[in-house]
Amino acid sequence: MFKFKLTDFFIKFDLARIKDLVNRPNSKVLISNFISLSVLQVLNYLLPLITLPYLTRTIGAELFGVLAIAAAIIVYFQTFVDFGFDYTATREIANSQKDIASVSKIFWTVTFAKTILMVISFIVLAILMAVIPYLREHYLIIFLTFLLIPGRILFPEWFFQGMERMKYITILNVISKAIFTGLVFTVIREREDYIYQPILIASGYLVTGVISFFIINKYFGVRMYMPSFKEIKDSIAGSYNIFLNLILPSLYNNLSTLLLGYWWGSTQAGILDAAKKVIMLSDQALSVLSRAFFPYLAKNISKHKFYVMISLIISSVFMLIYFFGADFIVKILFSPEFFDSKKLIILLAISPILFSLMNSYGTNYLILVHKETILRNITLVSSLLGFLAAIIFIYKMGAIGAALTLNFARGLISGLCYYYSKKVRVQLVQG
């Protein structure tokens, strides 16, 4: 019988043991990567926060909602193009760091695979534009938002993560965000200028993408490799389970924005997106922790409890900040028409804890022990139930229903990931 024990989440360390862990070579790499990614995420979030009050006041909640709806649509295509490579390719490169021939093969195979998937995505998007009136009405902003995808292909964060050289991700992302931040105040001066926002984001990624390719060739020695069609096909097939695990949450997450915009209007979609941008702060911080530990745990899975402890402490701090500081956050970041975002932030205050458990027992355990199928099934069931919940909750309660849907789905996934990770761990010990 399954029993939840709080002690499963924590592990005790004395000072001597902590000092010993910190001084180990692998730990030094982990700490360096974590610091690099932490600085990255602070700057990544701080720079957009500088523009957020200006942007929301300049274009208003309605057009802010239009941008959110376009972004929610493109997320589906972005996830399809990524196809789980951010995890599978990272894992493969982490295990082949010293073999430059293998690293080159992985890098170019994944790059070609993503490019092919991007072309397919563009064709599908063009067809959808032709047959769906709502998409056709907003075709320009949606196509411009699509420009983010080639920019992200050119900037392969997964490569630097797999090589455990996160400082490059930090530097290049800061360049990208700095370009975007500086241009927002220059280019977007009135409501109609909202159309330039996705162009500015994409331009930052394109510039850093070109720089990253130079670094990969010059400093890592990655050589040109022309993969065969079979190698590209096999790489896509090998990431299938993780792709499903990433795309399925969109059934309740990004769809919530689309459904809210359709049933309740773009203004409500904008208010929801404002709240989700605040919650994204904790998601990004916890993702930093997850990404920094992922290649480390791939080689040191015995340190998993240590990672869980840190993740839960950080997520608990965010939960308290959201619950008690929602009013202050909304007043600082948004114009008065976004005031209803306060209620959504309070409702979503539990989300960081749930997100932490999802990462700890899903991405950073089940994937690392090659149990992607279990994680895929968990995500499939939870996402389908979340999809049904989104239809019911959002139709009846609007933005409040969207927040409840996110909590419901994340809670279900995190609980199932915890349960099955414990079962897998017992099987591995006994085997």
Q: Which phi and psi (to 5°) does residue 54 adopt?
A: -65, -45
Higher-confidence residue of 77 and 10: namely 77
The answer on pLDDT for 23 being more than 60 is no
Of residues 140 and 249, the one with the higher pLDDT is 140
Is the predicted pLDDT of residue 424 greater than 70, yes or no? yes
Instruction: Give the model confidence (pLDDT) of 195-247 as tens digits.
Output: 998 888 888 888 888 888 888 888 888 899 999 999 999 999 888 877 877 78
CA-angle at 169, arms to 164 and 173, nearest 5°: 170
Q: Whole-angstrom Cα distance, residue 173 to residue 347?
A: 31
**Residue 99 · residue 85 · CB < 8 Å:** no
**160 pLDDT tier (thresholds 50, 70, 90):** confident
73: number of CA atoms within 13 Å, CB side? 29
Does 27 have pLDDT greater than 60? no
Of the pLDDT bands very low, low, confident and very high (cuts 50, 70, 90), residue 68 is confident
Of the pLDDT bands very low, low, confident and very high (cuts 50, 70, 90), residue 42 is: low
**Residue bearing the bigger pLDDT, 281 or 252:** 281
d(CA 238, CA 241): 8
Q: Are 153 and 115 in contact (CB under 8 A)?
A: yes
Tally of residues, the chain: 431
Residue 431 — pLDDT band, cuts 50, 70, 90? low
Q: Write down the mean pLDDT value for the chain.
A: 83
* Distance of alpha carbon 391 from alpha carbon 383, whole angstroms: 12
Q: State the pLDDT confidence band at 427, using cuts at 50, 70 and 90.
A: confident
CA distance 235 to 245: 16
Which of 369, 302, 361, 316 shows the shortest CA–CA distance to 27?
Answer: 302
- Helix (H) or strand (E) run with residue 203 in it: helix 197-218
Confidence of residue 46 (pLDDT cuts 50, 70, 90): low
Domain spans in the chain, listed from the N-terminal domain onward: 6-430
Q: What is the pLDDT of residue 4?
A: 44
Which pLDDT does position 30 carry in this prediction?
A: 60
Q: Tell me what the mean pLDDT of segment 106-133 comes to.
A: 94
Instruction: Return the pLDDT at 11.
Output: 41
Residue 147 has pLDDT above 50, yes or no: yes
Nearest-angstrom CA–CA distance, 132 and 80: 20
Please give the pLDDT value at position 38.
61
Q: 283-319: string of b/e by CB count within 10 Å (b at 16+)?
A: bbbbbbbbbbbbbbbbebeebbebbbbbbbebbeebb
What pLDDT is stored for residue 71 in this prediction?
Answer: 87
Q: State the amino acid at position 182 in one-letter form.
A: G
E strands, 343-430, in order: none
Report the chain's terminal Cα–Cα distance, integer Å: 20
pLDDT at 259: 86
Q: What is the pLDDT of residues 347-364, one digit of tens each?
A: 999 999 999 999 899 888
Burial (Cβ within 10 Å: 0-12, 13-18, ≥19) of residue 32: middle
Q: Rounded to two decimals, what is the model's pTM? A: 0.69
- The answer to whether 408 and 386 have CB atoms below 8 angstroms apart is yes
Query: Please, which pLDDT band fits residue 392 given cuts at 50, 70 and 90?
Result: very high
Most confident of 19-23, 76-80, 296-300, 373-377: 76-80
| Structure confidence at residue 10 (pLDDT) | 42
Nearest Cα to 354, choosing from 394, 402, 318?
318
More confident of the two residues 22 and 68: 68
Residue 323 or 247, more confident: 323
Whether the Cβ atoms of residue 359 and residue 287 lie closer than 8 Å to each other: yes
- Tokens at 277, concatenated: 């941008």
DSSP 3-state of 26 = helix
**Tokens of residue 273, six digits:** 């997106």
Please choose, from the candidates 2, 27, 25, the residue with its C-alpha nearest in 3D space to the C-alpha of residue 13. Answer: 27
Query: CB–CB of 269/405 below 8 Å?
Result: no
Percent of the chain whose predicted confidence (pLDDT) is above 90: 28
Residue with tokens 């919650």: 279
22-31, 156-165, 281-290, 373-382: which range is least confident on average?
22-31
